[in-house]
Structure 1
Amino acid sequence: MNRNNKLARKSSMLLGTTLLLVTTALSGCSGNSNNASTATGSPDPGTATESSSPGTGIDHSKPLTITVFDNAANYQGEQTGWYGKLIKDKFNITLNILSPQVAGDQLYKTRSASGDLGDLLIIDNSQLEELIPAGMIMDITDKIKNTEYLSKYVDNHFKPFNAAFQHINPDGKIYALPTFTSDTSPTTFSEELPYSSPLMPWDYYKGIGAPKLNNLTDLLNALKQMQEKYPKTPDGKPIVPITLWKDWDNGSMENVRWLSNWYGYEQPDGTSTIQLNAKGDIVPLVDDNSMYKKILKFYFDANQMGLVDQDSPSQDWNKVAEKLTNKQVLLLWYSWQRGFYNTIERGNKGDGNVAIPIADTHIIQNSDAYFGNGRVFAVGSKAKDPDRIIEFMDWLCSPEGLRYYTNGFEGFNYEKTADGKFKLTPVGQTAFQDNTPVPEEYGGGGYQDGQSKINTMIMSDFVVDPDTKEFYNNTYWSSTIEANKTVLTTEWQKTYNATTPTEYYQKNNMIDIVPNINTSLGSDSSDIKNKRSQISDYVKNTSWKMIFAKDQAEFDKLWTKLKDDVVGLGWNDVLAVDTERAQKIVKMRADAVANK
């Protein structure tokens, strides 16, 4: 993922959800969905042996390996397991995934320099801007005109997105399909929980008397009390109030970036020197009054109180995920992190991570990704058999493809109810967490191991299934909502007098929902790119030092030095570029509100 998942929806979904937040959780990312689904059960094993698909004229008789360059993937190699078998049986296709998250950023530089990034590309908007002029992206305008599913989204979604690249695409051709595109509206917020907000274990929070949290100081004191009362898990593993990790850091320190959202400031993708609020105010990261500094101070104070995991500077996301699964962390802040531990069974015991509002917060939250979410699917200009690739992409947007990706397969993960809707099976409720063995007829292996390693979607799970009239995201199925009426959810609702956290924040004027803008903000010149890299590295390294500073004097000294030193690295030049980009976002948001 662009590791920052940025979604939000309008729903009456109850708290304590699990399952479908989990796949995204594993990716930590970009995704906003679980992986897998179908209303038809197992794939037809005879499909791949047919010479062509009926009515398409596409020959499937020869095996095709598609090289997928995938920024969203956390896995590199051949897609195996049940999803691998599914697409092999259906299309006679094997996916060979190349992942910069696994192999490193040099992979993009090396392959793009060779002139062939891959057959199917899942890349960032900024990379698209480089690759179109380089002739490495195929014009797929005509190829998607006659597709069964992609063609439905051309006018409202794909054309407007590609038109934003007018400076390199003056004819408005369709080169790319944005990821995680919803079909709600440009100003709709559908999720029951903001992407980033304070979350804690309900039983532990109640165990210290459920104190009202007015500010971050109250939060730290509550975490300290929980730490003292609950030092270890039942099986003896140490519990840490706050755990951090470095491997998602990009333009700044990622764990600081997302807590800034609690107080109304975001750091837009494509920038590294500024934060932006809902009113359009732009504040440099190194401003003494910036939210970035405030959150650094929060973490520093937490560390001074012994609340920060001392593994933080050396651990990676995988280690954090393990701790989340074991309920070893007290403070969570990404909505999907709940999925590592929350289950309906635990919810019925009042056990699980839930939203714990802090009174002085005012969250900034992007609306549904109506125009997509920061990355795109594209076809490489040297792709082998592009018609088969387009056919596969079209299927990804079909009801069958979306069900497989988001929910697994019928009869194993979910079943049809008497009213024609879907309901998770007992296996489906924990298949991801338990890595449940999959029947051999579906490909065998563990369920989680066999999920789609593409790890992103063209159309998101916040699209309505035409058969059930409900979102593909099973968290929002009426059956799941009913099943999630657990002790955990009902206690939370009674305590906060709201059905969902989103409703609570809206009722109490504690959230600003801003249009989700998905566009190209321009690519850096070589000079700016070099300066940005040096500045970002310096900001990230200093941020970590400040959190673990021995005392307030060292914290202040590091901050002062940071402000001075970045100027010499070209701060003002990069700040000017980022300010211009932020102003473009502000204008586009105003236009989206005016035209909704």
Structure 2
Amino acid sequence: MKRQSKIISTLAAAMVCFTVLGACSNNNNSANEPVVSSNDGGQTQTKEEPIVLSIVNSAGGTPNFPTGDPFWEENPVAKALEEKLNIKLKWDVYSGVGKDKLNVTLASGDYPDIIMLSDPARVIADKIAIPLNDLIETYGGDLKKKYGSALNLLKQSDGNIYHLTNSYLPEGATPPGFGYSLQVRTDIYEALGSPKMETADDVYNYLKAVKEKYPKTPDGQTMYPLSGYNRNWGSPYFGMIAMAGSPADSKLYIAPDDSITYWAKAPWAQEVLQFYNKLYREGLIDPEAFTQDYATWQKSKLYPARVAAHIGGWNQTYDVLKTYTDAKLPNAEKMYFQNVVFKFPSGDKPAVFSVSKKGNGAIIITDKCKDPEAAMKLLNYLTTEEGNFLAMNGPEGIQWEMVDGKPTLKQSYLDRWLAGEKQVNIEQETGMAHYARLVGSDLGRTSWGTYWILKDDPIATNDTRAQQRDTALSPYWYDATTIGDLMADADMDTLNKQQAVDKRLYENAFSVILAKSEAEFEAEFAKFVRDLDAAGAEQVEAYMTKMHKQYESQLSGT
């Protein structure tokens, strides 16, 4: 009984000390001690200090804010994540050659909890990246749903997943309308009656009509019905083969039996090049389209309004309207380019935009991580709709708010975006974009029907031109999940042959396109294909086919 009384007396004294003095200990509490707060019921609640995880972004790109800038740890998204998850990231961001800086850091053995990088092969081989399977099973339920079967493609030969990606196409999503297309200048198109352009013949007839009615610009310069430039695979014919069914940016033809060849061996390849050759021989395409570089094309053809149509990326002509309006050209407001997708008689469904469910880049949790569970909780949250939207746009209440159950840009911010304000200014205020590469994706649409990045949403910004692009291009995307890394682990002989074939595939096509007659075209096309095989195309194609089928099997979990 005496012992019990003594305990009660001690507790009473402690309570008096707490209520009267506020604390019986030194006022300078340790940073690691919990913060004590009181709720309305007189109960005490303990708020733990945030879990601090170190992270480095070495994946490339120049950050808008220098390393050490308080922005990285104090921006609104960082604060929202700390409030939601009680996790705080201590950032290091490499500019310049991030790979070299990362190698030095790894060699020192003093590396962070989380690393964003381009290629995870070394950190996996060196056992710096820890297996994520159990963490995903326990803390990554949302992440599993978003990746779906694509998680199988992240497994290494030992069955473990060591890295995650960003910019993946979430399970069940379809991307907005981006990619390659035929682009026609609206004022000329409407003046010619806005004819249908669904087939290659329709396009041919349209370009003939342009030449007949608009041989010269108002200031007497030659007008080109179709123009372009030579920049690796950007133009002039890469967009054309995408229109015939070669997955955009792939240089490949995937046959019904899932075998892979270079596009020059596709059933439609000769027809596509013949179409270009016909345009060339009849003067319907700029003869310099295959030799001039991009800057020269812009300066000498696009900006002076000498281009009636162009085949390539939609963004290559999108901004030129400002040049025309600033120059006060007649009818300038109608001189923007519309997007058109057409088909070849023997072609497959156009594949103007390629996306991958696997995604790209890499993010790992290292063997030095103090709290792998917290790291996975963070990465999982950023795959949820709430977390991903937060990372892409910043927290609700700054640049966006919910209106009628849908996220909507505030008018003040919409006006700033439309006025062309630099994104860095709005990043500073909102924190948008800086967490976007942590297992984030801007592909597909949200459950509200918006783009993931509101300022890019043509409905949110009332951008009717982008709405037209979306409508025209969105049906023609291609799932390139199993063709994204077809030369993985290839031996040096196969890799050398691939480089030799790629060089011929690009350079030798021009002699086919520029043939002066049908007979010369036939001979040049046959030689074009023979030269690919002579360089080793068949060996490379066999390897790519093997890898493609292996990835398909892995994707299905078999």
Matches within 5 A, 1:140-289: 140-141=132-133, 151-154=141-144, 157=147, 160-164=149-153, 168-170=156-158, 172-185=159-172, 189=174, 191=176, 193=177, 195-213=179-197, 215-223=199-207, 225-226=209-210, 229=214, 241-247=226-232, 249=233, 256-266=237-247, 274-277=252-255, 280=258, 282-287=260-265
Q: 1:436 deviation in Å? A: 0.8
Q: Work out the CA distance in 1 between the residues paired with 2:493 and 2:150.
A: 28
Deviations 1:39-64 (A, max 9, x none): xxxxxxxxxxx98997574337xxx6
Q: Work out the CA distance in 2 between the residues paired with 1:488 and 1:324.
A: 20
Q: Work out the CA distance in 2 between the residues paired with 1:169 and 1:313.
A: 45
Q: 1:275 deviation in Å? A: 0.7
Alignment of 1:59 with 2:47, yes or no, is no
Q: Secondary structure at the match of 1:363?
A: coil
Matches within 5 A, 1:369-388: 371-373=357-359, 375-379=360-364
Q: Work out the CA distance in 1 between the residues paired with 2:508 and 2:522.
A: 11
What is the identity, as a one-letter code, of the residue corresponding to 2:214?
K
Q: 1:142 deviation in Å? A: 5.5
Distance 1:240 1:162, change over 3 A: same
Q: Work out the CA distance in 2 between the residues paired with 1:390 and 1:519.
A: 26
Q: Work out the CA distance in 2 between the residues paired with 1:469 and 1:216.
A: 33
8 Å contact from structure 2 (residues 164, 439) kept in 1 = yes
Q: Work out the CA distance in 2 between the residues paired with 1:312 and 1:386.
A: 55
Q: Work out the CA distance in 2 between the residues paired with 1:322 and 1:457.
A: 42
Distance 1:300 1:243, change over 3 A: same
Counterpart for residue 286 of structure 2: 308
What is the identity, as a one-letter code, of the residue corresponding to 1:575?
E
Matches within 5 A, 1:46-195: 57-59=50-52, 66-70=56-60, 75=61, 77-80=62-65, 86-89=71-74, 90=78, 91-98=89-96, 120-123=115-118, 132-133=124-125, 135=127, 137-141=129-133, 151-154=141-144, 157=147, 160-164=149-153, 168-170=156-158, 172-185=159-172, 189=174, 191=176, 193=177, 195=179
Q: Work out the CA distance in 1 between the residues paired with 2:519 and 2:246.
A: 27
Q: Work out the CA distance in 2 between the residues paired with 1:541 and 1:368.
A: 23
Counterpart for residue 354 of structure 1: 338
8 Å contact from structure 1 (residues 66, 95) kept in 2 = yes
The higher-RCO structure (CA 8 Å, 6+ apart) is 1
Distance 1:321 1:434, change over 3 A: farther
Distance 1:439 1:559, change over 3 A: closer
Q: 1:222 deviation in Å? A: 2.3
Distance 1:518 1:422, change over 3 A: farther
Distance 1:396 1:539, change over 3 A: same
Deviations 1:257-277 (A, max 9, x none): 4432323343785xx6x4115
TM-score (norm 1): 0.60
Deviations 1:434-475 (A, max 9, x none): 54156969649xx9xx98589867332346657x57552548
The share of aligned pairs that are identical, in percent, is 12
Unaligned runs of 5+ in 1: 1-49, 101-106, 494-498, 506-510
8 Å contact from structure 1 (residues 285, 293) kept in 2 = no
Q: 1:169 deviation in Å? A: 3.1
Q: Work out the CA distance in 1 between the residues paired with 2:436 and 2:518.
A: 42
Q: Work out the CA distance in 1 between the residues paired with 2:296 and 2:162.
A: 34
Distance 1:245 1:431, change over 3 A: farther
Q: Secondary structure at the match of 1:244?
A: coil
Q: Work out the CA distance in 2 between the residues paired with 1:453 and 1:553.
A: 57
8 Å contact from structure 2 (residues 242, 352) kept in 1 = no
Q: 1:534 deviation in Å? A: 1.7
Q: 1:520 deviation in Å? A: 5.8
8 Å contact from structure 1 (residues 372, 518) kept in 2 = no
Q: 1:532 deviation in Å? A: 0.9
8 Å contact from structure 2 (residues 494, 539) kept in 1 = yes
Q: 1:330 deviation in Å? A: 2.4
Q: Work out the CA distance in 2 between the residues paired with 1:453 and 1:238.
A: 44
Distance 1:219 1:586, change over 3 A: farther
Distance 1:69 1:488, change over 3 A: closer
What is the identity, as a one-letter code, of the residue corresponding to 1:264?
G
Distance 1:223 1:364, change over 3 A: closer
Q: Secondary structure at the match of 1:533?
A: helix
Count of residues in correspondence between the two structures: 483
CA RMSD of aligned residues (A): 5.7
8 Å contact from structure 2 (residues 224, 286) kept in 1 = no
Q: 1:153 deviation in Å? A: 1.1
Counterpart for residue 480 of structure 1: 460
8 Å contact from structure 2 (residues 146, 170) kept in 1 = no
Matches within 5 A, 1:489-508: 500-501=471-472
Deviations 1:208-236 (A, max 9, x none): 222333632442442354466396699x9
Q: Secondary structure at the match of 2:253?
A: strand
Q: 1:487 deviation in Å? A: 9.8
8 Å contact from structure 1 (residues 65, 93) kept in 2 = yes
Deviations 1:232-259 (A, max 9, x none): 699x998783323424x4xxx8764443
Q: Work out the CA distance in 1 between the residues paired with 2:150 and 2:336.
A: 39
Distance 1:574 1:128, change over 3 A: farther
| Equivalent residue in structure 2 for 1:461, among 436, 442, 457 | 442
Counterpart for residue 296 of structure 1: 273
8 Å contact from structure 2 (residues 260, 542) kept in 1 = no
Q: Work out the CA distance in 2 between the residues paired with 1:146 and 1:55.
A: 22
| Equivalent residue in structure 1 for 2:546, among 580, 586, 593 | 580
Q: Secondary structure at the match of 1:260?
A: helix
Q: Work out the CA distance in 2 between the residues paired with 1:550 and 1:322.
A: 26
Q: Work out the CA distance in 1 between the residues paired with 2:443 and 2:403.
A: 23
Distance 1:301 1:434, change over 3 A: farther
Counterpart for residue 508 of structure 1: none
Asked which structure has the greater CA Rg, the reply is: 2
Deviations 1:309-333 (A, max 9, x none): 7375453589869988998672244
Q: Work out the CA distance in 1 between the residues paired with 2:552 and 2:33.
A: 49
